[in-house]
Structure 1
Amino acid sequence: MKTKEKVRSKIKLVEFDPWLEPYEDHIKTRISKYKKDRKKLLSDADDFTDFANGHLYFGFHRSNKGWYYREWAPGADSLHLIGEFNNWNPSSHPLTHLGNGYWEIFLDGKKSLWHECLVKVRVTKDNISHDKIPLYIKRVIQDPNTLNFTGQIYCPDNDYKWMNPSFKIPKKQDLLIYEAHVGMAQEKEAIGSFSEFTNIVLPKIKEKGYNAVQLMAVMQHPYYASFGYHVSNFFAVSSWFGTPDELKVLIDTAHSMDIAVFMDIVHSHVVKNTDDGINEFDGTSYQFFHEGARGNHPAWDSKLFDYSKPEVIHFLLSNIKYWMDEYHFDGFRFDGITSMLYLDHGLGKSFTNYDQYFSDNTDLDAVTYLQFANALIKKIKPTAITIAEDMSGMPGMCLPISYGGLGFDYRLAMGLPDFWIRMLEQRDETWNMYTLWYEAVSKRPHEKRIGYCESHDQAMVGDKTIMFRLCDEVMYWHMHKSDNHYVIDRAIALHKLIRFFTLTAASEAYLNFMGNEFGHPDWIDFPRQGNDWSYKYAQRRWSLEENLELKYEYLSTFDRFMVYFAQNHDILKKSEFIQDLFIDDTRKLIVFKKQDLIFIFNFHPTDSYSDLCFPTKDSNSYKAVFDSDLDIFGGYNRVSRDIVYHSINNLKFNENCITIYSPSRTCIVLEKL
């Protein structure tokens, strides 16, 4: 009797990672749910682009004869439009209930509403009325006297004319992202604007060599210090920074510089505010959110979407399409995905085994929503980039939906910044090179990472940037070029090594938070009651890197050369070809190869090696083309760019090797001739 052969799984996710075989049924359930829910959701629509059009129906729309205003409020008993147009009369303009929770009113005459007209909607349920901001409003402003927020009609006489309407991210270029917050991007103790960012910061990003900017806090949020993560109005541009058209100018200008623009989108939770947010819009707690405890985030003090509701999916997918169609965003960084994926939001979990990814704790509705979102984004703009901020490391996050994945392009390598922090808490001579290499190269099979050693998270009060961890208060007094201080020398050397190692060994893409490239000395502390509402630490001190007498220039120059070198040599694209050549923990050395480039990292605090010998896996000749020890980088010019290194047979390794001088705390890149 023949033994029946085991049928190999057709799910690519399991083929890529055999450790997932015990969870194959769970993954198949996800695939089945995606197909079933997609069919049910789309009904007669061809795809998600035909479905995600809530913004084209709801909200305010001007016609040749007047204005339509429509709203979704299934729990409400009545709705009345109020505003400057009717002197805030609470009863003169009732909306008609169309069924299915849809409400509508037509205002006769094109001038019945006007540009910058203030509006709200009075929602009544069980004889209790609340004045709310319309769900699909495009602009919300704050009254400087009362500090209350109000909806505003935004319909300037002339529609914005795009200069670069067909911008696409080049497929062949490495992705180098500059994470930025518009409000704190200026060197002033005040909130920066979209226009200032366009005129002052975009040229800096271009000059620094980054080809993408990731904008935080784009959607309207009532509390400035929330960093934009407590969104109140999903279709409104944050009025802290300017108008919708000024945001369009920013994005259009970036595109003219060949800079892609990503939006930090928050679909993981919502601010609890009822007066200026979507919470309890129709008078119920469950219009958008789960009821009871499940509808509240225990750590973030915010509300949580119910992703099982078709109306919620419609609202969120329409939100994505709106930002892409209206503002030409090139992609999204999805915030708080770990919180979405697990019923316990991943709080207190270390995710050390696969059981934690595939269990009753996983919110399959959230998994399906994220798949829907990625399918929609790729349909609208195939070159768009989606980035997952997931600390759990769920398998398949960055694999196609058809493979059993969630469809993202990249995941943030969130464990690496934490690893660098742990390393910096140890003495330099105890750093383990094998652990460092493992942390850098470990990844999910066939999934791409965005490597970074620090983002905005590591710059907040309560944490420290890498430069501040290395220097602390010493950097306030000893950063002048004429001042030689061992703490600063060590900090500059390690700052360069950490960033270059992260980019070259631990990335398929790379991210930097603005100012960190030159070792910005201050933490981020937004104005709040605890600091007397000061903006002192909610700014970027660009003058420090521009002051040629200060050592910040060294770090800024190194970062610029590093980024350009990465672009010119396609370093990130070569990540799949990475191979370790030589690791020596005693001498704190790591040598690895990417096709025609060899990277030599000497992390030893004091020891230089005049005769470092390592295998090359070939018989070619090499020459140094990049190193961190140039004097313009704050180094000592100890690396020769003239010597040709021949790979010849070495008896110790019994293979072809190169012998080279490796100075302490430096990196060298050799290129095959």
Structure 2
Amino acid sequence: MAEYGHLTEKEITLFHQGKDFRCYRKFGAHAQGGKGFHFALWAPRVKSVHVIGEFDGWRDGIPMACVDLPGGSQSDIWTCFVPGAIDGMLYKFRIETLSGEVLYKADPFAFFAEKRPGTASRLAGPNTLKHRWNDEEWIKQRKSESHFKKPMNIYEVHLGSWKQHGKNAEDPVFFSYRELAKELTSYVKDMGYTYVELMPVMEHPFDGSWGYQTTGYYAPTSRYGLPKDFKYLIDCFHQAGIGVILDWVPGHFCRDAHGLCRFNGSELFESEEHVEWGTYKFDYSRPEVRSFLISNAIFWLEEYHVDGIRVDGVSSMLYLNYGIDDPAQKRFNHKGGEEDLVAQAFLQELNEVIGRLHPDVFTVAEESTAWPLVTYPPEEGGLGFHYKWDMGWMNDTLRYCALDFPFRDGSHQLLTFSMMYAFNENFILPLSHDEVVHGKCSLIQRMPGDYWRQFAGLRLLLMYQMCHSGGKLNFMGNEIGQFIEWRFYEGLEWFLLDYDAHARHQKFVKAMNHFYLNTPSLWQQNYDWSGYQWLDADNRDQSILLFKRQGKKEDDFTIILLNFQPDTYKEYKIGVPAAGAYREIFNSDREEFGGSNHINPQPLKTKKGVYHGQEQYIEIIVPPIGAVIFAPTLT
């Protein structure tokens, strides 16, 4: 097979067909055995391309040649070799457009970038990239058992504001990847989470975008260290038994001049402006863009051993008129609908490729509409994701929990409606960063009542999430009851743990998380009705929910009662599915958690009588604004 500047004819063909799913191996800048770096860039319809940088003193640059294919056709791919270029040097591409405009662009395939506010790419050779992995046991285990059969309790993290050195909003001193590997890994493990989800780590110019407006899709941000340091962080998570999910943004990119926008002087990577965010949408109809994006997802899975990818803003990709209210501006596809069929096909292909190449990893859709079959296979008309965020549960639940207690009976359906569709998709229940910013208030600040009731309400909210079917996700700070909204420019308020109420709340979250891990009935059958049974969904007068969670074994089940009012009941009868004795195995109202200690300390024997459709019942103490869980006992 003929080679063209280290690219084979087959690779060039596949790239132009949208089928080169590992094109990062040849495009961009690659070290050549200590002799220099080879460069390859896709830039159609331009006069010339030069690579400039520290290796030539940022002068005129090294000219790149456009690859000619057999028959005289041009590939639109520019290549060159720069002898003497070494690991760590800064560089850009100097592109002269057909109109004579000169553009200075960062490398779309760069593996590393200059720290902001600089905008250049940085050459990445072994000194920058190479890491010896020690997560063989994790990968082996990942391949041996499906993620659907494991507990999923996700801690969502923004690396720049989990902790910081000092407090300086003007120039924050971040924890490095290696410092986070020590502190964050041990914290997540100790707290009992099973996954971390990292808000975008791909290089981005503006801290305030939180990473969601990307310029360097293949480069972990230089804010926290080298790419090999980021690999070390992921490796440490895996060795601690923690999976890693990355937020990924294939729906749009920022309009910064050094990035992807107008890359050749006209629209190339983009199709149109995103009306919601002032960014640009990717052009999924262009095969080379599909190669770029799908290859990028594979890159993070293969080069960084990532376990899951959460695709941001899926709804904005799927609808032609997302964010457009003016009827005169609305557009329709050839079938007369508002669906973006090209974006739909891209997502289906993305998930098909990931499933074929890496069947042991998963993808998650942030999709907030009623788009059907998000987690169904493409061959069945689905998008092919493994999970979907349940935004309906999140919105309904937070709306309910913000209601003052006298008004909750009239909105009881907000608690129960999610079970009407709970198994239409494979859901993850999110209490994410989006819910604690922009004036929405922190979770605890939404809770009504005095200080005690607010903490009780937050404990109850988290218990409701934990006992509901589906995966779980909580944003950092929820576990310490932080009252202020999340601020991306400073660390969490860890000093709150010097105060008893916050320390007890963190102790509660830790205990709840470990209880979840050790209670298979709460997660073994998370995604179908075999794991869930209503016992009483309609007690709006007392604002109480009663249901059963079922494990794989017939005698492995839990009975869960959630009381959303500040009332206490001393002899409350609940129907149970089998005669015998039951013991309380968890109670959010325990004194050590900051509660009032309305607990059931002794095993409770069943009595004959029909309650909640069962032929026997037990009498329990119901805590105020609390959750209590029972399991059958042999003693």
- CA distance 1:468–1:340, shift in 2 (3 Å): same
Q: CA deviation at 1:175?
A: 0.8
Partner of 2:270: 289
What per-residue deviation string (whole Å, max 9, x for no partner) do you get for residues 165-204 of structure 1? 4633353321111100110011432233222221212111
Could you tell me the percent identity over the aligned residues? 28
Partner of 2:515: 565
Partner of 2:544: 589
Q: CA deviation at 1:444?
A: 5.8
Q: CA deviation at 1:44?
A: 9.5
CA distance in 2, matches of 1:562, 1:652: 27
After TM superposition, list the pairs within 5 Å mapping 1:175-186 onto structure 2: 175-186=152-163
Q: Does 1:123 align with 2:123?
A: no
Q: Does 1:627 align with 2:608?
A: no
Partner of 2:395: 418
2:361 to 379, 384, 404: 384
Partner of 1:277: 259
Q: CA deviation at 1:642?
A: 1.4
1:225 to 174, 191, 208: 208
Partner of 1:480: none
Q: CA deviation at 1:120?
A: 0.9
Contact 2:397 2:415 survives alignment (8 Å): no
Partner of 1:163: 134
Q: Does 1:327 align with 2:265?
A: no
CA distance in 1, matches of 2:61, 2:562: 73
Moved more, 242-251 or 169-178: 169-178
Q: CA deviation at 1:655?
A: 2.9
CA distance in 2, matches of 1:271, 1:329: 24
Letter in 2 for 1:602: N
Letter in 1 for 2:263: F
Letter in 1 for 2:589: D
3-state secondary structure, aligned to 2:447: helix
Q: CA deviation at 1:636?
A: 2.1
Moved more, 645-654 or 515-524: 645-654
CA distance in 1, matches of 2:613, 2:21: 61
Partner of 2:349: 372
Letter in 2 for 1:539: G
Q: Does 1:638 align with 2:598?
A: yes
Contact 1:186 1:196 survives alignment (8 Å): no
1:511 to 455, 468, 473: 473
CA distance in 1, matches of 2:601, 2:460: 19
Contact 2:37 2:86 survives alignment (8 Å): no
Partner of 2:553: none
3-state secondary structure, aligned to 2:161: coil
After TM superposition, list the pairs within 5 Å mapping 1:538-549 onto structure 2: 538-545=490-497, 547=498, 549=499
Q: Does 1:243 align with 2:213?
A: no
Contact 1:616 1:658 survives alignment (8 Å): yes
* Structure 2 unaligned spans of 5+: 1-9, 69-73, 327-331, 551-556
Q: CA deviation at 1:643?
A: 2.7
CA distance in 2, matches of 1:512, 1:647: 39
1:578 to 525, 532, 547: 532
Letter in 1 for 2:491: Q
Letter in 2 for 1:560: K
Contact 1:616 1:647 survives alignment (8 Å): no
What per-residue deviation string (whole Å, max 9, x for no partner) do you get for residues 295-354 of structure 1? 0011101000111111110010111111111111111010000000000125669xxxxx
- CA distance 1:59–1:469, shift in 2 (3 Å): same
After TM superposition, list the pairs within 5 Å mapping 1:90-239 onto structure 2: 90=60, 92-98=62-68, 99-107=74-82, 109=83, 112-125=84-97, 126-142=99-115, 147-157=117-127, 159-165=130-136, 167-168=138-139, 169=142, 170-171=145-146, 172-187=149-164, 188-189=166-167, 190=172, 191-239=174-222
CA distance in 2, matches of 1:298, 1:551: 44
Contact 2:111 2:219 survives alignment (8 Å): yes
CA distance in 1, matches of 2:359, 2:346: 19
Partner of 2:4: none
What per-residue deviation string (whole Å, max 9, x for no partner) do you get for residues 378-419 of structure 1? 223222121100011311001122222111111111122322
Partner of 1:342: 319
Contact 1:49 1:379 survives alignment (8 Å): no
1:618 to 578, 581, 593: 578
3-state secondary structure, aligned to 1:140: coil
CA RMSD of aligned residues (A): 2.6
- CA distance 1:445–1:492, shift in 2 (3 Å): closer
Contact 2:276 2:323 survives alignment (8 Å): no
- CA distance 1:70–1:431, shift in 2 (3 Å): same
- CA distance 1:446–1:414, shift in 2 (3 Å): closer
Partner of 1:603: 564
Partner of 1:554: 504
Q: Does 1:73 align with 2:43?
A: yes
Letter in 1 for 2:22: N
Contact 1:387 1:412 survives alignment (8 Å): yes
Q: CA deviation at 1:210?
A: 0.4
* Structure 1 unaligned spans of 5+: 1-40, 350-354, 472-485, 527-534
CA distance in 2, matches of 1:235, 1:153: 12
- CA distance 1:319–1:166, shift in 2 (3 Å): farther
- CA distance 1:653–1:102, shift in 2 (3 Å): closer
CA distance in 2, matches of 1:348, 1:219: 32
Moved more, 88-97 or 195-204: 88-97
Letter in 1 for 2:539: D
CA distance in 1, matches of 2:175, 2:188: 16
After TM superposition, the score normalised by the length of structure 1 is: 0.82
Contact 1:185 1:197 survives alignment (8 Å): no
- CA distance 1:307–1:166, shift in 2 (3 Å): farther
Letter in 2 for 1:57: K
Q: CA deviation at 1:137?
A: 1.0
Q: Does 1:521 align with 2:483?
A: yes
Contact 2:19 2:291 survives alignment (8 Å): no
